[in-house]
Amino acid sequence: MSGEPLRVGVIGCGPIAERGHIPGIIKSKEARVVAVADLDTKVLEKTSKKFGIAKTFTDYHQMLEEKLDLVHICVPNHLHSKVAIDVMTRGVHVLVEKPLATSVHEAEQMVKTAADQKVKLCEAKQWRYVPAVQRGYDIYKNGKLGRIVSMLAQWHTDIPLTWSHAQWYYNPEKSGGGIVSDIGIHMLDLLLLFGGPVNHVSASGGDYTGTMGFDTSVQALLQFSGGGTGILDVSWLAPYSKILDIVGTGGIATVDMQYYSLLHATKTSSTLCRDCTRPSSMT
Ligand SMILES: NC(=O)c1ccc[n+]([C@@H]2O[C@H](COP(=O)([O-])OP(=O)(O)OC[C@H]3O[C@@H](n4cnc5c(N)ncnc54)[C@H](O)[C@@H]3O)[C@@H](O)[C@H]2O)c1
């Protein structure tokens, strides 16, 4: 970086851009939003007024003339790959919303383009950067939890209607799937962060409403190559819960993902037997 703030463009100004990306960039001293693009002129006008962004485009290709360093891509899932490849082909770095793409082939094309163009391609997996998760991860990395025995990554929440009224969320050809590609992907990211690569997965799930046409509840058991198991439990039907539990050979940690707090990180009873002490906080 030259020391100047990064010049950022945002493509797609729906709820995730409005509530997450644009306010986040504005808060940062290292970047500024210089232009936004959306097909919908009303959305563009609202975004421009709310955040004071002068340059707006209905065609994102025109926005790419603005000498941007980085583009945040916040369009519906089935467009991620095409838009990201268009941007990277111009030599511009990309932060693309999750899921990276709606097929493995598209994802591979994106990764190849990033390598060919020597630009960075990053998928938005923000939960691993939540301070409470980072603290749990530091404790684990410092060896205080020992080796992973098991993990539970659970997210039970409302169907996305409460988030966006966009219809593509309910069309698996455009969304890329059901609950796993929508929110499961975040919890899976946390399992992989702590547990590392996976050598076996068994899963069960389905559309238990019988009306949606995509998975609404999925439970998966992951076997980590380095040992230990991870349980992914995501549901649009169960009562609200958002928790990450890490059980190690030397301690346990629980992150309350709803209130962003590390609830506890304590030595386990096997350690206690040796030490003859009460559970002690590691935070
Ligand atoms: N990381 C997270 O936690 C998180 C949360 C919610 C949504 N998302 C992801 O963010 C993305 C957007 O979600 P959303 O809820 O804001 O969707 P949305 O459909 O409500 O908004 C998308 C916007 O993109 C615009 N758009 C569509 N095609 C375009 C094009 N070709 N050029 C320019 N603009 C275009 C639409 O007009 C709309 O304003 C999705 O990929 C979704 O999966 C991520």
45 lines ligand 1 (CB under 6 A): no
CA distances, 64 to each of 12, 59, 110, 120, 156 (Å):
14, 9, 18, 16, 39
Rounded to the nearest angstrom, the distance between the alpha carbon of 175 and the centre of ligand 1 is: 11
Mean pLDDT in the chain? Answer: 92
Residue 204, beta-bridge partner list = 219
C-beta 195 within 6 A of ligand 1: no
Mean pLDDT of 159-166: 78
106-153 pLDDT, tens digit per residue, is 999 999 999 999 999 999 999 999 999 999 999 999 999 999 999 999
pLDDT-based confidence at 59, cuts 50/70/90? very high
Residue 281: band (very low, low, confident or very high) from pLDDT cuts 50, 70, 90 = low
CA distance 240 to 245: 16
Domains assigned to the chain: 6-124 (3.40.50.720), 127-273 (3.30.360.10)
pLDDT of residue 103 exceeding 50, the answer is: yes
CA atoms within 13 A on the CB side of 59: 3
pLDDT of residue 158: 82
Cβ 101 under 6 angstroms from ligand 1 = no
> How confident is the model at residue 11, as a pLDDT?
99
Altogether, the residues listed in the chain come to a count of 283
Q: Is the CB of 164 under 6 A from ligand 1?
A: yes
Take atom 38 of ligand 1 and give the residue whose Cα is closest. 14
Measured torsion, CA atoms of residues 254, 255, 256, 261, in degrees rounded to the nearest 10: 120
The answer to whether the beta carbons of residues 47 and 22 sit under 8 Å apart is: yes
